[in-house]
Structure 1
Amino acid sequence: MGDRLKWVVLFFTILFWGLAFTAIKYAVQSLTPYELAFLRFLVADTLFIATIVHSRYRIERSDLLKVTFIGVFGVAIYHVSLNAGEMFIPSGVASLIIAMSPVFVLIFSAMFLDERITLAKVAGIVIALLGVYVLSHPESGGDLTGILLVLIATLSAGIYTVGGKVLMRKYDPLVLTSYVMVLGSVPLIPFAITSFHSVLRADLLTVLSVVFPTYFSYQGWYYFLNREEASKASVFLQAIPVVSILAGYFLLGEEITYLTVIGGAMVMAGIIIVVRSKS
Structure 2
Amino acid sequence: MRPGDRRPHLFIARPGSRGMSLSDRFGTSRAVHGSMLFLVLVWGLAFVAIKQALVYMSWITLTFLRFAVADLLFVGSLAARRQLRPAPRRADLPRLTLLAFVGFTGYHLFLNLGETDSTVTAGTAALIIASTPAFIAVLSIPLLKEKIRPLQAAAIALAFAGLGLMIFFAHPGSQFRFQASQGALTVIPSAIFSALYAVFGKRSLVRYPPASLITWTLLIGTVLLLPLLALTFPGFVRDLMTMGVNGWLPVLFLAFLPTFLGYTIWFRALARLPAASAAAYIYASTLVAVIGGIAILQESLTTAAVVGGVMVIVGVFAAQRFGRR
Q: Which residue of 2 aligns with 1:98?
A: 129
1:34 and 2:60 are equivalent in the alignment: yes
Bigger drift between 222-231 and 260-269 goes to 222-231
Counterpart among 131, 138, 155 of residue 192 in structure 2: 155
Q: Which residue of 2 aligns with 1:268?
A: 313
Counterpart among 221, 246, 249 of residue 294 in structure 2: 249
Q: Which residue of 2 aligns with 1:55?
A: 83
Q: Which residue of 1 aligns with 2:240?
A: 200
Which structure has the highest helix share of the two?
1
Greater Rg over alpha carbons, structure: 2
Contact 2:50–2:112 (CA under 8 A) maintained in structure 1: yes
RMSD: 2.4
**What are the Cα deviations for residues 26-66 of structure 1, in whole angstroms up to 9, with x where unaligned?**
12222221111111112111112223433133233322221
Structure 1 unaligned runs (5+)?
Answer: none
Change (3 A) 1:140 1:186: farther
Q: Which residue of 2 aligns with 1:80?
A: 109
In the TM superposition, what is the alpha-carbon distance from 1:199 to its structure 2 partner?
4.2
Change (3 A) 1:235 1:69: farther
In the TM superposition, what is the alpha-carbon distance from 1:271 to its structure 2 partner?
0.6
Contact 2:56–2:239 (CA under 8 A) maintained in structure 1: no
Counterpart among 113, 135, 146 of residue 183 in structure 2: 146
Structure 2 unaligned runs (5+)?
Answer: 1-24
**What are the Cα deviations for residues 223-248 of structure 1, in whole angstroms up to 9, with x where unaligned?**
34456677875454212210000000
1:181 and 2:218 are equivalent in the alignment: yes
Percent identical among aligned pairs is 32
Distance 2:211 2:151 in 1: 34
Q: Which residue of 1 aligns with 2:268?
A: 223
Q: What SS does the aligned partner of 1:200 have?
A: helix
Query: How many pairs align?
Result: 279
TM-score (norm 1): 0.89
Bigger drift between 3-12 and 149-158 goes to 3-12
Contact 2:58–2:239 (CA under 8 A) maintained in structure 1: no
Bigger drift between 217-226 and 18-27 goes to 217-226
Counterpart among 56, 68, 74 of residue 97 in structure 2: 68
In the TM superposition, what is the alpha-carbon distance from 1:9 to its structure 2 partner?
3.6
Q: Which residue of 2 aligns with 1:119?
A: 150
TM-score (norm 2): 0.78
